[in-house]
Amino acid sequence: MSLVLNVLKNIPLIREGDDLAEILLKSLAESNLELQDNDVLVLAQKIVSKAEGRMVNLADVYPSAAAFDLAPLVDKDPRLLELILRESSEVLRIRKGVIVVEHKLGFVCANAGIDHSNVAGEGKENAEYVLLLPENPDASARRLREEIWRKLEKTVGVMIIDSHGRAWRNGTVGVCIGLSGVPALIDERGQTDLFGYTLKATVIGAADELAAAASLVIGQAAEGTPVAHVRGFPYPLTDGSLQDLIRAKELDMFR
């Protein structure tokens, strides 16, 4: 068994309204990769957000009283904080330089996933652009998967990933924030190990494991390679969702 990941070549800078499916298929050809059934395409969140018009100029944001109140506590621009509050269902932790929230999509992350890096807008002098997460990453992944089926009649999986910190460890890792045709979890409870012990608690976060592997080849800075092609994913391609990956609040011991 082997798992092979390759970044796609010649992905252009994505702008609002771009046809991501067409761009991916062109890049696959230029990368000498022929899409096969059961392959998986892993996309960095930024290109999906850009195509979907999720870029915001801070000059156009008018902070609320809540954002102004938070600004000295967190030491962040109140306009950015206003966007974070709009994208969140709850503020969980704050300190200088850090605000941790529950995003409207359900997961816990810093800054509601809003990012300044690799973001540039057009048309306004001294513009300060930031990028929001896709509104519905599962739907975004599903549309791409369906479009690829229409063009090639290949059954593939599509994942959208982002970089998140973790509660117990330093450093960011790639995690899945949207998927279609890929299992989010693999439940191995009831199976036996090498010595006949029946597994009682083993549920594998397969989508997050693949997201972390893809993040290694996609990169985090100026690589310009926001898509990875994956062959050899070791589980059958079944349809998962982001909600499968989010721990219920009543089971979250750290809230």
Domain boundary among 131, 163, 187: 131
Does the structure show a pLDDT above 60 at 123?
A: no
The residue-averaged pLDDT of 128-144 equals: 96
If asked whether residues 123 and 235 sit together in one domain, one would say no
If asked whether residues 90 and 145 sit together in one domain, one would say no
Which of these, 209, 218, 220, lies nearest to 185 by C-alpha position? 209
If asked whether residues 65 and 147 sit together in one domain, one would say no
If asked whether residues 101 and 221 sit together in one domain, one would say no
Q: pLDDT tier at 120 (50, 70, 90 boundaries)? A: low
Query: What per-residue string of b and e applies to 45-63 under the rule 16 or more CB within 10 Å gives b?
Result: bbbbbbbbebbbebeebeb
pLDDT confidence of residue 253: 82
pLDDT digits (tens, 9 = 90+) for 151-175: 999 999 999 999 999 888 999 999 9
End-to-end CA distance of the chain: 39
Residue 253 lies in a domain: no
Length of the chain measured in residues: 255
pLDDT confidence of residue 121: 58
Residue 35 lies in a domain: yes
If asked whether residues 45 and 95 sit together in one domain, one would say no
The model carries a pTM of 0.93
List strand residue ranges (DSSP E) for 78-222, in order: 88-95, 98-103, 108-110, 129-131, 157-164, 173-180, 186-187, 203-204
Residue 254 lies in a domain: no
If asked whether residues 101 and 198 sit together in one domain, one would say no
If asked whether residues 95 and 197 sit together in one domain, one would say no
> Average model confidence (pLDDT) for the chain?
92
215 near 5, Cβ under 8 Å?
A: no
Containing structural domain, residue 213: 4-53+133-247
Residue 38 lies in a domain: yes
The more confident residue out of 121 and 232 is 232
Q: pLDDT tier at 199 (50, 70, 90 boundaries)? A: confident
Q: What percent of the chain has pLDDT over 90?
A: 80
The more confident residue out of 202 and 194 is 202
Q: What is the DSSP letter of 58?
A: G
Domain boundary among 79, 99, 131: 131
Picking from 67-71, 195-199, 202-206, 224-228, which range would have the lowest pLDDT averaged per residue? 195-199
If asked whether residues 8 and 29 sit together in one domain, one would say yes
If asked whether residues 159 and 226 sit together in one domain, one would say yes
If asked whether residues 79 and 175 sit together in one domain, one would say no
